[in-house]
Amino acid sequence: MNLNKAIQIVGYFLKKYNFKLNYTKLIKLLYLTDKEALRRWDTPVSYDNYCSMPNGPVLSGIYDLIMGKHENEIEQLRWDEVFQRDGYDLVSFREGEIRTDELSERETDLSDEIDARFHDWTYSNLIRFTHNKKLFPEWKDPGDSSFPLSLHDVLKSIGREEEEIKEILEEERIFESEAEYFSSCCK
């Protein structure tokens, strides 16, 4: 996951809700955005990992950051400088400082589309929606637990064939490898 991009896409959505939004709704909007980006462009916006949880599919890295339980302490501290949890809401206290330079125009346009469609939905409505097995066959009910949801399964759920999935996953692997190299050599 690209933390800067994650912070920016979360901030972009929060801005539409006066910088305070139920975090379950936020995570659903982010998942819907990623899934639609994969459908359109074969690449997600967040580059986060996915997870099946009792309330449906989520972006696991962003979920961990919201919960204050991210495995990387430095990334958690950077996140906490911008966002904090207030009960079941995520709040940004850096309203004027939310940037979008890591987001492409098509990514912000897609985020706008997703928000326009679901802006007035409650988090409960979004949970029910993402439990629809016809629309979200990739989600499996984990009971009271959770388990990883593979990019392969998400791609399959949007109708990609096995050969296409292999190509997309290989491109993702190369992209992640290059991103890791550049982040380590250019610090």
Domain boundaries in the chain?
Answer: 3-159
145 φ/ψ angles, rounded to the nearest 5 degrees:
-115, -155
pLDDT by residue for the chain (187 residues), tens only, comes to 889 999 999 999 999 999 999 999 999 999 999 999 999 999 999 999 999 999 999 999 999 999 999 999 999 999 999 999 999 999 998 777 788 999 999 999 999 999 999 999 999 999 999 999 999 999 998 999 999 999 999 999 999 999 999 999 888 887 777 666 666 666 5
User: Residue 73: what pLDDT?
Assistant: 96
User: Residue 186: what pLDDT?
Assistant: 60
User: Residue 180: what pLDDT?
Assistant: 67
Which tokens is 61 given?
Answer: 């890295």
Q: Report whether 30 contacts 46 (CB < 8 A).
A: yes
Residue 93: half-sphere exposure toward Cβ, Cα within 13 Å: 8
SS3 82: coil
Instruction: Work out the angle at residue 49's Cα, subtended by the Cα atoms of residues 45 and 55, and round it to the nearest 5 degrees.
Output: 100
Strands 83-86 and 20-22: unpaired
Record the pTM. Answer: 0.91
